[in-house]
């Protein structure tokens, strides 16, 4: 079967680049097996004309050739119907100004000798949830119906009979997956509209992912399939054509840095080398990269072949998915799928699962290079480091009602009055590892209630016991300016979680009468509304993370960082000159403005109300509702900053839940729904002020 797999790739090469042949010897080929591999890889449409030519020289069974031809006819007809249907969708979407991005599908089909040769089950579009009403309006007008069986929360699927077409709406490129690796993928900003580009593909003007972003997504998609479902040879064709067409537009250095950060580098080196060897992909992408061994390349091809030739029973497919999903999420170092292999539940897939996991290790897709035993040994060292950190702390700050003693200067924070406490009695200690490289394991992500271990481009971090942040620079020259944001945002948020302090993902402003917190999803307008309230006389308490402590049963929001963050559009709207303020996120085009002492509250603010901002995608009207009963508690819980930790541990602690209950009983919560179009900022501000005055 291995030789047949290699032969299929030769047929594919000729179909792509050599319509008159290469002189390759196809004698003694099992054409029935070759067809099965081509069909299982969705490549029979692409390869039909090549096989028809070869039939003039080689004895291909008539029934095999006829089946190949039938696949070709059906595949091209399906592709033409899909194009006709999507062209209609584009026209209707333009009428209502619906925003969306197209990925894979027609973008990749355009790279084939004939776009109709790329067999696809559906068209994938990426949208923001607030744009869903317009998209659904278009689908309804065109006669699409929802496929409830194949739909999920993040990827609803719609289907129409004539012309036949399936459309997948993606609210997230990563589907339902979540975990450390998905967090890293999110940090790249691939789904940000600012990175989208315009392409003419298949005679249609399309908005799609940026060149590098699309490549990253495709590699995630392929790796996901390899890990949980199996992947055939079609991905090699897509990537080869994509690199050969758009390679000059991709910063390969940037791409490889991201692959290293994700732990995908070894797999990509192996996959790309197969594409280069069999399909003549441009080898520039492998400059300065390691060449995989013949064994590793062979194991990858066997994975592709197994997907086609040894299909799972439905129950076994579900078992394998459950077993291998942690590798996609980046949670396998914590959950360790291998420990389940000897359980009775996995007996029917035991041998195949063992081989699969061995291949996963070989391809570098595991997070388990560091064993749990090594972690325990390192913990002892960190305990010694903490004692040293207490003695050597140089800088002292106040944030979220905590005293921070740090080896790293962080001028973003409020300097603490050191006369108030002894430096060896700080709440949190931030320090470097005693030896560089002690946390070196870019694959490893540990998420526990008292320990979080995470990795970034310039440093690795260990947050533990609610009082310690350990930083391990990856290079001596790693700039602290790139390290500090992860300490202030991620690490200190994890510290608050470990200390059982409720943190809401929102901005808080206050005056002498109390404080109000503005919550909502990303893009809901938290910064715009909190800035508007500041203009009306309120002062900032917290911009992004609002930490709430109960003092004698009364909730107070603690002073955070004396900065406010803005996206480009909001910063310009507020009158800031971009060249005069600090840019803190190139991918998301975010800026930060330092506030004066007069613009900040002098101390914690008693929480008087919480306002959640929502886009009204249901009836597109403006309204305000007061949350009551269980809904109120759910709303507070859903907007806690530590959702990532909650989803990967046993959830909020009993202490956090009890405090949330106390807050829910005494702090009114209002849900503000605004229409998807029109400027309602002033109306929202007036309504909030009106409610606050009556509290």
pLDDT one-digit tens code per residue, 332-383: 877 788 888 888 888 898 988 998 998 998 898 987 443 333 434 444 445 5
3-state secondary structure of 478: coil
- DSSP three-state, residue 547: strand
Q: What is the pLDDT of residue 447?
A: 67
pLDDT value of position 366: 86
pLDDT-wise least confident of 197-206, 293-302, 401-410: 293-302
- What pLDDT does 609 receive? 93
**C-alpha to C-alpha distance for 269 and 371, rounded to whole angstroms:** 25
- CA 336 to CA 338: how far, in whole Å? 5
How far apart are the C-alpha atoms of 306 and 298, rounded to whole Å? Answer: 12
What percentage of the chain exceeds 70 in pLDDT?
93
Instruction: Work out the average pLDDT over 167-171.
Output: 96
How far apart are the C-alpha atoms of 71 and 68, rounded to whole Å?
Answer: 5
- HEC string for 233-246: CHHHHHHHHHHHHH
CB atoms within 10 A of CB 628: 10
Weakest mean pLDDT among 254-263, 542-551, 648-657: 648-657
- 133: part of which helix (H) or strand (E)? helix 132-141
Can you give 324-374 as a three-state secondary structure string?
Answer: HHHHHHCCHHHHCHHHHCCCHHHHHHHHHHHHHHHHHHHCCCCCCCCCHHH
Nearest to 321 by CA among 156, 104, 329: 329
Question: pLDDT by residue (tens digit) across 181-218?
Answer: 999 999 999 999 999 999 999 999 999 999 999 999 99
What is the pTM assigned to this prediction?
0.57
| DSSP state letter for 489 | I
DSSP letter for 404, please. E
Rounded CA-CA distance 204/89 in Å is 11
- What lies within 8 Å, CB to CB, of 217 at 6+ separation is 103, 173, 190, 209
Lowest mean pLDDT among 295-299, 420-424, 546-550, 691-695: 420-424
Non-local (6+) Cβ contacts of 343 within 8 A are none
**Interatomic CA distance for residues 68 and 39, integer angstroms:** 8
Lowest mean pLDDT among 108-117, 152-161, 471-480, 646-655: 646-655
Question: What is the pLDDT at residue 577?
Answer: 82
Domains and CATH numbers, the chain: 2-69 (no CATH), 86-294+303-362 (3.30.460.40), 372-478 (no CATH), 502-562+600-693 (3.90.228.20)
Q: Average the pLDDT over each of 252-261, 264-273, 562-571 and give the range with the smallest value.
A: 562-571
Residue 521 has pLDDT above 50, yes or no: yes
Tens digit of each residue's pLDDT (9 = 90 or more) over 44-94: 999 999 999 999 999 999 999 999 999 999 999 999 999 999 999 999 999
pLDDT at 565: 81
Banded model confidence at residue 220, pLDDT cuts 50, 70, 90: very high
pLDDT tens per residue across span 418-452: 766 666 678 999 998 877 777 765 444 566 778 88
Specify the pLDDT at position 107: 97
Q: What angle do CA 335, 337, 343 make, to 5 degrees?
A: 115
d(CA 272, CA 278) in angstroms, rounded, equals 10
Kindly tell me if the per-residue pLDDT of 235 is higher than 90. Answer: yes
Buried b (16+ CB within 10 A) or exposed e, 182-194: bbbbeebbbbbee
CB 433 within 8 A of CB 426: no
Neighbours of 164 (CB within 10 A): 14
Separation CA 203–CA 201 (nearest Å): 5
Long-range Cβ contacts of 13-18 (<8 Å, 24+ apart) = 13/278, 13/279, 13/280, 14/50, 15/46, 15/47, 15/49, 15/50, 15/113, 15/117, 16/46, 16/112, 16/113, 16/237, 16/240, 16/241, 16/279, 17/280
Per-residue pLDDT, 589: 63
Residue 440 has what pLDDT? 64
Instruction: Report pLDDT for 652.
Output: 72
Could you give phi then psi for residue 668, rounded to 5 degrees?
Answer: -70, 140
DSSP letters along 612-657, please?
EEEE-TTT---EEEE--HHHHHHHHHHTBTTHHHHHHSS-S-HHHH
Write down the mean pLDDT value for the chain.
87
pLDDT of residue 658: 86
pLDDT the model gives residue 27? 87
Nearest to 358 by CA among 306, 315, 290, 286: 306
**Residue, of 457 and 232, whose pLDDT is higher:** 232
Per DSSP bridges, beta strands 459-464 and 414-415 are unpaired
577: helix, strand or coil: coil
Q: Are strands 123-126 and 451-455 parallel, antiparallel or unpaired?
A: unpaired
The dihedral through the CA atoms of 387, 390, 391, 394 has a sign that is positive
Angle at which helices 526-535 and 681-693 cross, to 10°: 60
């Amino acid at each position: 079967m291995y030789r047949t797999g290699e032969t299929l790739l030769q047929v594919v090469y000729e179909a792509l680049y050599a319509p008159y042949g290469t002189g390759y010897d196809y004698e003694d080929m099992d054409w029935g097996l070759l067809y099965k591999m081509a069909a299982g890889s969705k490549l029979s449409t692409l390869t039909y004309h090549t096989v028809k030519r070869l039939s003039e020289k080689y004895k291909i069974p008539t029934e095999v050739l006829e089946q190949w031809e039938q696949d070709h006819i059906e595949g091209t007809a399906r592709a033409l119907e899909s194009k006709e249907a999507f062209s209609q969708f584009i026209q209707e979407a333009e009428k209502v100004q619906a925003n969306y991005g197209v990925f894979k599908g027609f973008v990749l089909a355009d790279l084939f000798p004939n776009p109709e040769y790329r067999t696809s089950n559906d068209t994938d579009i990426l949208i923001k949830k607030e744009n869903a009403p317009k998209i659904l309006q278009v689908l309804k007008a065109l006669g699409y119906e929802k496929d409830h069986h194949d739909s999920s929360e993040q990827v609803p699927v719609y289907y129409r009979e004539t012309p036949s077409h399936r459309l997948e709406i993606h609210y997230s490129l990563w589907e339902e997956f979540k975990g450390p690796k998905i967090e890293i993928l999110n940090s790249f900003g691939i789904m940000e509209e600012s990175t989208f580009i315009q392409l003419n593909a298949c005679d249609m003007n399309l908005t799609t992912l940026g060149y590098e972003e699309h490549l990253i997504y495709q590699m995630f998609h392929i790796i996901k399939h390899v890990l949980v479902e199996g992947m055939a040879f079609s991905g090699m064709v897509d990537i080869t054509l994509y690199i050969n067409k758009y390679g000059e537009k991709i910063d390969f250095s940037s791409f490889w840095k991201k692959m290293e950060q994700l732990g995908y580098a070894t797999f990509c080196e192996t996959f790309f080398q197969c594409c280069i060897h069999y399909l003549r992909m441009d080898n520039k992408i492998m400059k300065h990269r390691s060449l995989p061994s013949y064994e590793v390349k062979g194991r990858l091809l066997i994975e592709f072949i197994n997907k086609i030739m040894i299909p799972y029973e439905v129950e076994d497919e579900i078992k394998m998915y459950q077993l291998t999903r942690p590798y996609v999420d980046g949670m396998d170092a914590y959950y360790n799928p291998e420990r389940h292999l000897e359980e009775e539940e996995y007996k029917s897939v035991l041998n195949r699962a063992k081989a699969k996991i061995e291949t996963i290790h070989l391809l570098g897709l595991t997070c388990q290079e560091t064993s749990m035993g090594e972690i325990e040994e390192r913990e002892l060292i960190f305990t010694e480091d903490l004692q040293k950190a207490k003695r050597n702390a140089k800088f002292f700050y106040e944030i979220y009602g905590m005293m921070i003693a740090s080896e790293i200067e962080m001028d973003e924070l409020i300097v603490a009055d050191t006369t108030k406490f002894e430096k060896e009695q700080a709440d949190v200690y931030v320090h470097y590892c005693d030896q560089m490289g002690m946390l070196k394991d870019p694959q490893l992500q540990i998420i526990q209630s008292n320990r979080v271990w995470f990795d970034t481009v310039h440093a690795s971090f260990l947050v533990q016991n609610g009082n310690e942040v350990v930083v391990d620079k990856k290079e001596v020259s790693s700039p602290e300016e790139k390290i500090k944001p992860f300490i202030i945002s991620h690490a200190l948020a994890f510290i608050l979680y470990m200390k059982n302090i409720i943190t809401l993902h929102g901005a808080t402003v206050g005056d002498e009468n109390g404080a109000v917190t503005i919550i909502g999803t990303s893009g809901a307008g938290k910064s715009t509304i909190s800035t508007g309230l500041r203009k009306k006389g309120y002062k900032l308490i917290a911009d992004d993370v609002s930490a709430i402590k109960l003092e004698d049963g009364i909730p107070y929001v603690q002073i955070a960082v004396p900065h406010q963050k803005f996206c480009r559009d909001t910063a310009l709207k507020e009158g800031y000159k971009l060249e005069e303020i600090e840019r803190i996120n190139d991918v998301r085009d975010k800026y930060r403005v330092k506030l004066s002492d007069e613009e900040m509250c002098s101390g914690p603010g008693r929480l008087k109300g919480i306002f959640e901002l929502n886009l009204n995608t249901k009836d597109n009207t403006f309204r305000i509702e007061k949350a009551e009963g269980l809904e109120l508690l759910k709303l507070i819980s859903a907007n806690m900053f530590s959702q990532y930790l909650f989803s990967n541990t046993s959830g909020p602690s009993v202490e956090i839940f009890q405090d949330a209950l106390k807050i829910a009983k005494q702090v009114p919560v209002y849900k503000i729904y605004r229409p998807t179009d029109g400027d309602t900022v002033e109306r929202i501000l007036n309504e909030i002020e009106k409610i606050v005055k009556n509290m």
